[in-house]
Every structure is written in structure tokens, then in C-alpha cells.
Amino acid sequence: MILGIDLGTTNSLAAVYQNGEVQVIPNRLGSVLTPSVVSIDEKDTVYVGETALERKSIDPANTVSVFKRAMGTDRVYQIREHSYRAEDLSAFILRSLKEDAEQYLGQTVEEAVISVPAYFNDRQRKATKKAGELAGFRVERIINEPTAAAIAYGIDKRADEARYLVFDLGGGTLDVSILELDDIIMEVRAVAGDNFLGGEDFTEVLYRMFINKFSIDEGSTPIKTLTHIRRQAEKCKKEFCEKDQIVLSAVVDEEPLHMEVTLKEYEEACQLLFERIKKPIERSLRDARIRLEDISDVVLVGGATKLPILRRFVGRLMGRPAKVEINPDEAIVIGAALQAAMKERNEEIKEIVLTDVCPYSLGTDTSIRGIGDSLESGYFDPIIERNTVIPASRTKKYWTVRDNQRSVSVDVLQGESRLAKGNLLLGRLTVPVPPRPAGEESITVTFTYDINALLEVIVKVDSTQVTKKMIIKGEDSIYDDTQAEQRMAQLDYLKIHPRDQEENKLLLLQAERMYEEALGDLRPMINRSLMEFEAILDRQKPDEIRQAREDFRQVLAQLEEMMEDQLMSDFLDDPE
């Protein structure tokens, strides 16, 4: 059985195709959404998901989130005495999904299809695959998120030829893809996006409005307080899905502060984000060489597309309402599960041929004639341009630039910057050439890129026929097989999953967070309930704990409602 996984910036999900339908798998706490958050306590216990999210309010310094944005980079996250890269943290999330799936399905799951933003570059894709391997999966296929969404919507089942624009705005990344269906072939015509734009940025707008309104100095304000404000901003952003006006309330320096925001005011504050969103849409249409009226349907996926202001904006821009029949949180994981079923050759699933494109241009470093006919080096020359349908092979010829030059180095670059140094270096090949006057020796460079993200580079010296070849494969060069095993052993040691206790830990963390946010008489009430529950846990009687847990959950819900009423009462008494 192959698992379909949506490894998201804010939340992650897993699903499987069985008994004729896709089943989105609930985690150990009963939710299909597992927050992409990791936290470590003083005993080196690693918390993942909702439990880690609750710890973020109490121990933000040792809790990390939104690390998907750092996939494939050299950024290191320091949590207590441990250093992690984004793929290590993602492995915690993936291992949690794997264990939950195995518990739910009652069998071992060894392989997964993992979705990634279409705009992820080669290094980011490799890092995602490595995260899956660290979590114990075989990851033989990475699927682009918009393609997965298209499959989920059954675009592949249409009988006619059609073109679709898939708008995917998740917690931290934006993808815009144009797909074309012709019989059983689904071809990606163009991709564009922004790896640093998502729902988190719409939360940031509300957070900034609150910070600016009350002139809060972030440098001197405790990180717990700032985390509390951001949590309230996230909550209010979601309320805009049902309300035209919200009140963002937070406690700062033991003083309740309140900010009223209308949907119109919020929409105006998000104009810079909308301007950023327009660019990938326009670029994808331009790269695909099609007009807006040629688009058959617009599909919205990703949790951030639930925002009414975003749906209205995309609708106005595209000149039509978008398709939102499938829960935006689940569309990608459903498509990933269907792709996994296709990979298994499941007879119930129609096999389709997925063609893809290069999300970034592939090329090399070259010299050009500048002002005054001087030769200037360090410029990027694309060989396979972005959005070229793959598999593809392209060849270019280059000449020596110095007299008596004895070798030529070909840097393999990925990106769109006009300067070579602004692009990602994938590898380098050096070939010897006979020493002759500049421009009299030439080399032929051939790039071949296939659908499995394998890039073959062949450099041939034309006069001597000396040839060198390099294949840049989909494995991460940071770890070899032995290092991956050692890293996985470390993750196993740190990651502890007491399944029979995690629900209890979640409630304890929730109560601790509520105590810190509460004021007045509510604090001793929360403390008393917390101590009573802890005493029952100490007796270690499962039946007694089960009943006490349900009672404690209801008490906390009542107390949280009282906290909200208290804040609102303060606001109504003193709206300024």
C-alpha cells in the first residue's frame, strides 16, 4: 500500500485509496490535519502536531513551525542542544503521519507519494525526498501540488480537451499552474509561484495591524506575548470566513487590548499581498502562451483560499468564480492518494500520463560582449528554459575566450537570474582543450532533463571528441546512505509517541496556556481543575483517566468561553 501525503507549511495530511474511494486518515487525536509544528521539552521529548502547537504558546523558544520555507537551504534550527535542518524537522512530521496511518490501517506502510509546490527547485525536491527517507518511507515519486489538485477534481475524467488554472495558496507557498488535458495525457503547460507567500502572511497582516495600533515594541515584549497575539490573529483571520467584522483581543502586560477590524479594512490592508499574487498568475499565462479566455476552469486549493477576500480577488482577476467543491485543505492529499493508486496499478483508477515542465531554467555560466566590445564573464545562458515540457534535450555550442586556454569548466545552473551567481549551482564539469587562440576551440554542451528530475549533462570537445558526462540525480548530496541511517536512528531516539498519553498531554498543555492568558478569578479556577486532573493521572487507572479526561476537556471548554466573555466585556466597557 502506498500512502499519499501533503507535506504542508501549516498542516500536513495523509490519505490512501481503498475500497473504491480515498480515505483521508485521521491522526491519533482524531483530526485529519496535523499541524507542521515540532517542539522539544527539557527531557528531550519531541512533540509533533497539535501538541507541539499548544507548546508554542508556553515554550516558543523551543518550538518551530513554517520550516517548509527553508527546505533545501542551509538554514539550521537550534532547539535546545539540537541542530536541525528543515528536512530533519519534516521527517518528524512524516514519521508521525506514517505511524498514524499504520495504526489506522492496521498494516505497515513503506512507500509514499509526497506532494511539493510546483515551483520547488531541484534542491528543495531532493530535501523533501530525503525527509521521507529519514521518516522510513521509500519515496519513488514526488508529485506537484497543482497536478495532485487537478487529479482530485477529476479533471483527468473529462472527455473533452480543456485547460485549467490551478491556484494553490497554502500556509507558506503559492503555486499557479496551467494544465491541459488531451485524452489520457495531462500536460503541465506552465508553472509560476512564490515560495514565500501564503496564509501565514495574511495572518501577519492582522498581527501587524494590532502591533501598530497599540505601538507595541516587539524588541522589549516577551516572546510569549507576541506568540499569543499571533495566535489570536490567526483565529480572527479564520473568523473572517463567516463574519464581516472581528475583534482581535489579546492580553499585553496584563492589560486586555481590543482591535475591531472590518472585512473591508482587512482587504485594504492586504493589497500588497494581492499585488504579489497577480504576478505569478500573469507570468503563468504568458509562459503558457494562452489567453485568459482560453482557461476552461479555475480551481482553488490550499487552506488560505478559504478567505472570502482571496476568493473575490481571484474571481475578479480571472473574470469568473472558481471551483471550490472539494475541501481546500484536502484536495492535494486526495490527488496524491489517487496518484499512489495509479502507481500501484489499481484497476479501479484510470491511468493517466502526467507530463511536466521544468519549473526553473537550466543553463550554464558564459561570457558576453559588453560595452566597447570587452568580454564580460559571469552571465547565465539558459539551455533548457523554464516551462519547457519534459522530457527534453537541448544542445548549445561555446567557444574558448582566452588565448592558449587549456580547459573549459561548465557550471550547471538552475534559476532565472541574468547573473550566474544568482542561480543555484547543481554541478560542474571540466574538460581539457588544446591550447589555441581564443575562439578557435569549441565545445558542445547537451542538457537532457527527464520527468523523474534526472538531469544529464554531456560536454564534448569538438576538435578532439573528448567527452565527459554527469548525471545529477534525485538524491540529496548532504547525506549518504550510512549518514541517513544514523540520522534516522537519532530521530527514533528523540521522537517518543506515548499514544495512550498524548491526549492527556494535549489537555495539560492547553490548560497551561489558558492559565497564562487568563486574568483575575479565572486563574485559580484553571489551576484547581488542572491539579485535580494531574492527581488522577498519578493514580494510573485507565478507566478513571478516560472519564476524567472527558470531564476535564468540558471544563476547559467552559473556562475558555468564560475567558472570551471576560475579554469582550472589558472591550464593551472601554472600547478604546
Q: Give the helix/strand (H/E) hosting 261.
A: strand 255-262
Which is the catalytic residue, given 56, 68, 98, 237?
68
Integer Cα distance of 67 and 91 in angstroms: 11
Which of 133, 168, 365, 503 is the catalytic position? 168
Alpha carbon of residue 197 to chain centroid:
10
d(CA 499, CA 96): 11
Q: Which of 59, 88, 100, 145 is catalytic?
A: 145
Amino acid at position 463, single letter:
S
333 CB contacts (<8 Å, ≥6 apart)?
4, 5, 6, 13, 14, 15, 24, 115, 148
- Please name the residues in contact with 458: beta carbons below 8 A apart, sequence gap of 6 or more: 445, 446, 448, 467, 468, 469
For residues 431 and 443, the answer to whether their CB atoms sit within 8 Å is yes
Whether 514 and 526 have beta carbons less than 8 Å apart is answered as yes
**Can 98 be counted among the known catalytic residues?**
no
Contact 86, 73 (CB under 8 A): yes
The yes-or-no answer on residue 145 being catalytic is yes
Q: Other C-beta atoms within 10 Å of 302: how many?
A: 31
Backbone torsions φ then ψ of 49, nearest 5 degrees? 85, -140
Give the bridge partners for 259, in sequence order.
Answer: 248
Alpha helices for 177-307 (secondary structure H): 199-213, 223-239, 263-269, 271-288
Is residue 224 part of the annotated active site? The answer reads no
10 Å CB burial of residue 320 (0-12, 13-18, 19+) is middle
**CB 115 within 8 Å of CB 332:** yes
**How far apart are alpha carbons 535 and 513 in whole angstroms?**
19
Q: Is 419 helix (H, G, I), strand (E, B) or coil?
A: strand
Cis? peptide before 498, omega within 30° of 0: no
Return the number of other C-beta atoms located less than 10 Å from residue 220's C-beta: 6
The answer to whether residues 414 and 122 touch, using CB atoms and an 8 Å cutoff, is yes
What is the Cα Rg of the chain in Å? 27
- Is 157 an annotated catalytic residue? no
What is the C-alpha separation between 420 and 412, in angstroms, rounded? 10
Residue 535 near residue 546 (C-beta atoms within 8 A): no
299 vs 129, 182, 320, 423, 543, CA distance in Å?
Answer: 27, 18, 11, 31, 48
Q: Is the dihedral of CA 462, 468, 473, 476 positive or negative?
A: negative
Q: At what angle do helices 502-517 and 522-539 cross, to 10 degrees?
A: 160
Catalytic residue set: 6, 68, 145, 168
